[in-house]
Amino acid sequence: MKLRHNPASPYVRKVMVVAHELGLAGRIELLNTAVSPVEVNATLAAENPLMKIPALVTDDGQVLFDSPVICEYLDNLSGGGKVFPSAGKARWTALRQQALGDGILDALILCRYEIAARPEDKRFAGWTDGQMKKAHQGLAALEREDLSGPRTIGAITAGCTLGYLDFRFPNDGWRQRHPKLAEWYRGVEALPSMQATKPPAS
């Protein structure tokens, strides 16, 4: 399998944490891929018309995107029901937690693009504030979730979300606002799958 990859992307990290947890990381060839909110990447577009990473090319030549689909594919490949509970309340809880983590990431990445990719005189502070408000409300909801127990896609997504917050928004202060989440994340960030997928230093 080949994965369109960028070590700074938290969605790619999700996929790789799942791969490590399932013992599949060694079967994935990483293809480092530059992405931009404004520029066309023709190579990536040939596989994923949305030009987003991660995109997985399976051994039989299918292209899968985005991260929830790829993660479920990997779970299936390893027998199913491991990080995606197969049915019932456990499944809906894990899927809700995944959607919450992904939604927080969506808001954070829109902020990141506004701050890092737009010239200062063209930035729209109201936009950044609005996205940050969504991220903060999402984090407050994540604090109320039960993330203990078996490591599901919900917990993995939450871990990658908090990792991205530390990576790109180190002064956010989320640990002071959400001590329960901070305590939970202390154990999660030490896991081998999280250590193996840490974002780059800058």
| Residues at the site binding ligand BEZ, with contacts judged by CB under 6 A | 6, 8-9, 35, 109, 112, 168
Question: Least distance to ligand BEZ from the beta carbon of 134, Å?
Answer: 17
Bridge pairing between strands 2-5 and 63-64? unpaired
Between CA 19 and CA 22 the distance in angstroms is: 5
Among candidate residues 136, 19, 135, 9, the one with its CA nearest the CA of residue 76: 19
How far apart are CB 201 and ligand BEZ at their closest, in Å? Answer: 12
Nearest to ligand BEZ of 35, 77 (CB atom): 35
CB of 125 to ligand BEZ, least distance (A): 20
What are the CA-CA distances from residue 142 to residues 16, 124, 138 (Å)? 22, 27, 6
Cβ proximity to ligand BEZ, 12 vs 184, nearer residue: 12
Min dist. Cβ of residue 141 to ligand BEZ (A): 22
**Nearer to ligand BEZ (CB atom), residue 6 or residue 131:** 6
CA distances from 40 to 62, 112, 162 (A): 22, 19, 29
**Torsion of the alpha carbons at 126, 13, 155 and 105, rounded to the nearest 10:** 10
Our CB check for ligand BEZ shows the closer of 6 and 48 to be 6
Give the shortest CB-65-to-ligand BEZ separation in angstroms. 13
DSSP secondary structure letter of residue 149: S
Question: For ligand BEZ, which is the closer residue by CB, 35 or 191?
Answer: 35
